[in-house]
Structure 1
């Protein structure tokens, strides 16, 4: 009597099926990763769009743009006294808070704040608008003022993996000050017969935002659709990334160390790059301590934390004037997305600008009073520079 052979897979057939499945999984994983990054990029674009709506709603409410490097000021270098101030050092993001659903955080900032809720202790009582978000030996408000330590999801790009300490509270979005770094750390502070910052910054700072100066949509004569309002920045991961840790320029100048405005200034940190890994500095000798890095203090209006300029194209190195993290610097936008960054145009449109955008002559001097590139001149930094200026009378006739 014959018996039927049992149906089943042979060992060879099983191994072939396993091999095919392995190949398919190997092909599928990059596609899954790409799909995830596409979703993160879309989420980031939505964040930028929401910030754009906040800017427009702010302008509709107050007839001006949110002010960059604003706040309170008074005599002396306060620390944590009830009579303290923030030295006009706040980011425009602070004033925008109620316009992107952060009313509760705004209320804690705009009202006096007792850190421990105990009226018997007076050394932790903060005035409205709090203290300076900067942190060094004499200004350590960020250590104890809770609002400056509060991270807001709407300010974070999902593609950026940076989290937690040593940052105070991270942000991935910053404000455009134009195609010159000169006086971006001071802005239009005052004209006092000695430091005529208001006059000089008016000539050099040609973006939608000027530190410590009230700006309006009507100031954007080139058209809101042709002018960058905000852009992305990456937050530092402690890895000597040239986009997130500043190096000191090899050029110096006696007047507040504004050497980076000179011819060659924008590229004056290139020699510090690791020749084998040009996305990183060759050695750990950057400016500032572990807490003074790009994207680490959303509440500070200083260039390192809250500003971009259109001098070097996206994802290039940041180069600072002096060994102080509050100084002016070459500040390109940057992102963790492949090949470029999101920027917010003045009309609220969100654009993705590639790293290869035409950026003119990076060795050129920048625009400032007394420069070979006179105030009112066309931007020396090509299409990229044009997009950063608000009133240079330049037509945008190229796609980007």
Structure 2
């Protein structure tokens, strides 16, 4: 008699659990690599944004012999017009394929207004180039930066919040030139300097970059967070420029010394701490407040931020950088020797 044995075609429970465990381990090993690859792609995209911004700044310089003012003002003395002064991002619109929007603006009475005073052109404008793809925040953020949005006539108006900021200088001045910096209640007890490349009210030419264009930061990232909240120099939205308390007209930064109110200058920052300082907690108000002149450089890129230099090149600035070196990189003419970073 022939005895036939029935072969088993399935898994036992133990074998199934072993396979599941192996798959779980492989996924756990693979997931960080996938996340790293995605972040590498996002970081490259961010780098490309800065390269395009740097190229636009160079083209602007070729046209006018100088870079745009970091934070500008209008030529009008009307208080309402002053609320609509713009910063460097508006100036480079024709060089980033946004000529149509730029031509609609009434620069004499505030760049937010079209020639007919309606609609507010810049409030509706969205430029992806000014957004870091690694950032967890959206293009608008009324929750964290409340005055960047408002409701008018039952319609919500939200200006784009930008992730790249102009470097107006560093404090303290590396060459100990106290006359280039202001520390007072007018700048919310922070420190405002104009020893960098993105000076207010008047643009700077490359001939004034005595430390060398490859040694001086022009634009850097401000796309991270502080205590889980977005903090950037966008108190009224990313397009706004130089405003004295929203109501008084001034045409010179020398007025700061005698001004008794508060100064708002969007789109620029005076470097005072290293990147990603107080990323999670502990930041003093004058280092990250939306209106303060020392809103910190930060990003969601692991380990630091990216920056475009005056020569148009883009470099990664590690958060471990010595502040003395970062300060020298943020100032155009301090005479300091730049070491590796």
TM-score, normalised relative to structure 2: 0.72
- Partner residue in 1 for 2:47: 45
Indicate conservation of the 8 Å contact 1:176/1:209, yes or no: yes
Secondary structure at 1:230's aligned position in 2? strand
Q: Deviations over 1:134-193 (max 9, x none)?
A: xxxxxxx9x9624234221000000112123414211100101111384599x9xxxxxx
Retained in 2: the 8 A contact 1:66–1:95?
yes
Maintained 8 Å contact 2:224/2:298 = no
Map 1:81-100; keep pairs closer than 5 Å: 85-86=81-82, 89-100=85-96
Q: Structure 1 residues 165 and 385, CA, compared in 2 at 3 Å: closer, same or farther?
A: closer
What is the aligned counterpart of 1:390 among 312, 332, 335? 332
1:213 aligned residue: 202
Deviation (angstroms), 1:7: 4.5
Is residue 67 of structure 1 aligned with residue 69 of structure 2?
A: yes
CA distance in 1, matches of 2:23, 2:84: 61
Partner of 1:222: 211
Q: Is residue 7 of structure 2 the alignment partner of residue 6 of structure 1?
A: yes
Q: Is 2:260 aligned against 1:308?
A: no
1:299 is matched with which residue: 229, 233, 239?
A: 239
> 1:332 is matched with which residue?
296
* Distance in 1 between residues matched to 2:3 and 2:265, nearest whole Å: 85
CA drift at 1:86: 3.5
Number of the residue aligned with 2:102: 106
Alignment partner for residue 126 of structure 2, among 151, 154, 160? 151
2:162 is the counterpart of 1:171 = yes
Shift of 1:70: 1.8
Distance 2:311 2:128 in 1: 24
Aligned residues: 281
User: What is residue 111 of structure 2 aligned with on the other side?
Assistant: 129
RMSD: 3.3
What is the match of residue 56 of structure 2? Answer: 54
The reply to whether residue 27 of structure 1 matches residue 29 of structure 2 is yes
Q: Cα gap change, 1:111/1:330 in structure 2, threshold over 3 Å: closer, same or farther?
A: closer
Structure number with higher relative contact order (C-alpha < 8 Å, ≥ 6 residues apart)? 2
Alpha-carbon deviations, 1:349-384, whole Å to 9, x = none?
Answer: 11111111011xxxxxxxxxxxxxxxxxxxxxx111
State TM-score, norm by structure 1.
Answer: 0.62
Aligned to 1:244: 231
**Aligned equivalents of 1:216 and 1:206: distance in 2?**
13
SS state at 1:330 partner: coil
SS at match of 2:170: coil
Structure 2 equivalent of residue 345 of structure 1:
309
Structure 1 stretch displaced more, 300-309 or 57-66: 300-309
What SS is found at the alignment partner of 1:178? strand
- Provide the C-alpha distance between the structure 1 equivalents of 2:182 and 2:207, rounded to a whole number of angstroms: 23
Question: What SS is found at the alignment partner of 1:229?
Answer: strand
